Structure 1
């Protein structure tokens, strides 16, 4: 929110945790606002990561993360295919297809300031980072057009 609404460096920013059995991936995507420096945006993202590591997370941000995690877990359960897929994953990965009934309540207490700080310090480090910057294509005149 600080990067988009506060500092206006990006038009949007999002983060996803791709959780799998074994190694996972935490993915941050940001689209720079017009006339903003991509380098400054990248640095602002790193600053936000450092904020997570310091534990300086507001209570409302924790509550928002819990609500978002709850929605992301519950929403797909309204579709039979999604429920079946999740039951299958729990059966294959954990030998516990019934986790579909208890997983949400097991996950929610884990979203705490301390756990966020611990995980950020352990995994969100420069040595684990891959940065890809994409820029718009140049105008067609520069490609040999008219």
Structure 2
């Protein structure tokens, strides 16, 4: 993919010169790797010479699924910015963590919705997990307020528009979406996110963010962990 200020004909001539002599090959057979449904919560505790981290993940959907933009908005409700639910509750109010984030992975095949938090020194992973679980459950039982939903949509639109201002970022996104699904899905992605409703978020949380579909990993330091900034 070419981006920037260039002459189309000159670019095509160069592409033909270097690539046209290469014989066309049959495409390799597609590799389909789909994990079977999880039938119960999984837990792991790892010891590593690092600061403690708690990671929770749920099996979800591929990037072309209609529920994908809902999960992107849900990610924003939970952890995008200082006014997000997890940042406010875990860092601002309880002051239990140095960092918290949420992310829906972008995959050709079904991905995962991830939530992670870094407890500050002296804080147990169990106390952080309790609050994370409460906020996840809250998405399933309570509808997101209109103002909160609009805040996240505004953030997502701002990020989308900013990406369009960069030829490099636009090219990278189009290429990535073509590899994972189809290139024009990226152009529709903001419209799909803006159409997400509070009912969609509640439905998707009830469908995917269940205990039986969850994996919890607790990274424990093997020795005295390095001090986290702000602790």
TM-score by length of 1: 0.78
Q: Which residue number corresponds to residue 126 of structure 1?
A: 211
Q: Which residue number corresponds to residue 129 of structure 2?
A: 42
Change (3 A) 1:2 1:57: farther
**Alpha-carbon offset, residue 124 of structure 1:** 0.6
> CA–CA distance in 1 between the matches of 2:165 and 2:113?
26
| Contact 2:103-2:114 at 8 Å conserved across structures | yes
Q: Which residue number corresponds to residue 26 of structure 1?
A: 113
Structure 1: runs of 5+ lacking an equivalent: 140-146
Select the structure of larger CA radius of gyration: 2
TM-score by length of 2: 0.52
**Alpha-carbon offset, residue 94 of structure 1:** 4.5
Change (3 A) 1:9 1:60: farther
- Report the count of equivalent residues: 138
Whose strand proportion is higher, 1 or 2? 2
Whose helix proportion is higher, 1 or 2? 1
Which residue among 188, 192, 195 is the counterpart of 1:106?
192
Of the two structures, which has the highest relative contact order with CA contacts closer than 8 Å and spacing of 6 or more? 2
* Cα distance per residue 1:43-89 (max 9 Å; x no partner): 11000001000124333321222123223433333332321132234
Change (3 A) 1:8 1:58: farther
> CA–CA distance in 2 between the matches of 1:129 and 1:71?
31
Structure 2: runs of 5+ lacking an equivalent: 1-87, 225-231
Say which is worse superposed, 71-80 or 123-132, in terms of deviation: 71-80
* Cα distance per residue 1:74-109 (max 9 Å; x no partner): 3333332321132234445554x4444433123211
Q: Which residue number corresponds to residue 138 of structure 2?
A: 51
> CA–CA distance in 1 between the matches of 2:148 and 2:156?
12
* Cα distance per residue 1:112-141 (max 9 Å; x no partner): 2111111111111112211111123414xx
Which residue among 69, 82, 98 is the counterpart of 2:156?
69
Matched, 1:2 2:76: no
